[in-house]
Structure 1
């Protein structure tokens, strides 16, 4: 049985990916009694390059200026969040090394959130896009919690007189408030129908990434490809395959990524390549679901598409403010709460 079995908790978070752990850290800092339950298996947050890249992501996705500001603001939260948890931010130089350099630089300027600059080699340099190491970052957030993550499968949830009861492989856990940070998973048994319908709108997107013993000092990006420093080597990625949930690496996709990476680098990529696959979640408008679900005591921190690491602390802040009632009571909540509100999909 988990230590918390039959003991009412303030807040229970299901899921220990970047959104779940960021939210747990934020709520712990605010003085809440927080527990996290997670399967302990690899998730999309651990199978990631760890790029915090508001500028190039905004340009490649051709977002509106308003969404570009949201991404910039998410980046600005990271410095204080990382310092408080002990996460190292690596200011690796980031370059657009693909084609259409002039158009890319113009697109960056049109966002009006940060100018780019063209290097002597004809690349666009972006200074605010940085890196973290996902494995150490996840470990640092776990260590920042007051109590260890409960390793268990979650079978179902049920409303109780005082909140929620969660049935796990280690027993039942009760909490007054429940936060679902379950990635691209399908709706679990026992959820209220409206919440289940919200989660069912999340599309899985399969992403394949490779680790190579090939050190690079800068992040190089092009259309559908990046090469980024990671530990003693580099990572190459990543595919974006909507609708797929299978986790077996695809040899053909791997060859395409290697070929594209070699074009960026201008040289062969060192072997061997260790391939990994993660399943991201994405909403119809590309932004996460963060905040109240519409069901009392039930909150969501889900579906950041490929920007989980960038948006993690912002999602955490929005969810914490919703739980504490700051927005509803007229407090100074995040200006981006409405854009992330899960209930925006209930009327569509």
Structure 2
């Protein structure tokens, strides 16, 4: 697909992928409209803890064990991207604590993945992992995209065919291309999305601040410090409801209290997001079989980590430029046959 500056591009989804893509395409001169009926910050990207964590993902999510090189490349893309936008990156790293058997298991996984780490008095530490404030970053992306000329529309895209997008209120608008960045939704927009598995994630947000420092990981839990610490996160494959479930989230609190007993006094609210995953844990990025549709979906737990890299790839596909060395790994057609 070769589009010129001024071409009209619709983006379905205003999460990390959609908002980053809107910014980059608008700066390239495209006329961009982002459609998302969810209030700003109420999607999975807004609920997320904002991890830019190649080491933790390669260790604690076994499906990502072999993905450390691409996850590192995605993290490095954040340095100029965040600097340009004024998004603060916390580079405090990853600390792992637990009993001897758990630490031995994690150390073996770090070695297998090829991640940098060192032993500490309390456990293990890696400087590979960064993080950001997800809701703040999403707001900054939105403002920057608007400043570059993008528009945000609180409607959803129901269908796209032959350059015409039908919205959920029935209105039909002409666009030269549609970028599907709907996370776990929008399956009706491209057949490739039918292969995604929805994953419900629940995170506890505490009302007691923790001093800044590395993300702490223990058996079955992480604690991201800050003014409102995040304790996460459940991975409930096949579920896409947004209903908070205290019974499912309670083990997170108990695991966090074993690591930091002082958290027992903190109040907490449950926040819920729905993501989606492919069978290999990498997203679908590239042209769909539907003419004019580019996919940017299925990020599993790495929506924020991959966002600038994926946005660059979408822009490359729309302008017939080189999408980079990860194009084959992300190709939506890789599961066919």
Whether the aligned pair in 2 keeps the contact of 1:155 and 1:169 (CA below 8 Å) is no
> CA shift at 1:65, angstroms?
6.9
> CA shift at 1:63, angstroms?
5.3
Query: 1:214 aligns to what?
Result: 208
Q: How far apart, in 2, do the equivalents of 1:64 and 1:169 lie?
A: 39
Query: 2:3 aligns to what?
Result: none
Whether the aligned pair in 2 keeps the contact of 1:77 and 1:314 (CA below 8 Å) is yes
Query: 2:79 aligns to what?
Result: 79
Q: Unpaired segments of 5 or more residues in structure 1?
A: 1-7, 328-332
Q: How far apart, in 1, do the equivalents of 2:151 and 2:307 lie?
A: 18
Please list the CA deviations of residues 243-283 of structure 1 after superposition, one character each: whole Å capped at 9, or x if unmatched: 11221211112221110111122444333211111111111
> CA shift at 1:128, angstroms?
2.2
Cα pair distance change 1:65/1:48, threshold 3 Å: closer
1:249 aligns with 2:244: yes
Query: 1:229 aligns to what?
Result: 225
Q: Within 5 Å, which residues of 2 pair with 1:82-93?
A: 82-93=82-93
Q: Within 5 Å, which residues of 2 pair with 1:176-325?
A: 176-188=176-188, 191=189, 195-196=190-191, 198-216=192-210, 217-218=212-213, 219-230=215-226, 232-325=227-320
Cα pair distance change 1:253/1:65, threshold 3 Å: closer
RMSD, matched Cα:
2.0
**TM-score using structure 2 length:** 0.89
Q: How far apart, in 2, do the equivalents of 1:202 and 1:63 lie?
A: 14
Query: 1:20 aligns to what?
Result: 18
Q: How far apart, in 2, do the equivalents of 1:222 and 1:173 lie?
A: 50
Count of matched residue pairs? 324
* Deviates further, 250-259 or 260-269: 260-269
Q: How far apart, in 1, do the equivalents of 2:151 and 2:283 lie?
A: 23
Q: How far apart, in 1, do the equivalents of 2:57 and 2:219 lie?
A: 11
Q: How far apart, in 2, do the equivalents of 1:150 and 1:89 lie?
A: 26
Q: In the alignment, which of 107, 113, 135 is matched to residue 105 of structure 1?
A: 107
Q: How far apart, in 1, do the equivalents of 2:66 and 2:203 lie?
A: 30
Please list the CA deviations of residues 77-98 of structure 1 after superposition, one character each: whole Å capped at 9, or x if unmatched: 1111111222111123420123
> CA shift at 1:153, angstroms?
2.6
**TM-score using structure 1 length:** 0.87
Q: How far apart, in 2, do the equivalents of 1:76 and 1:98 lie?
A: 29
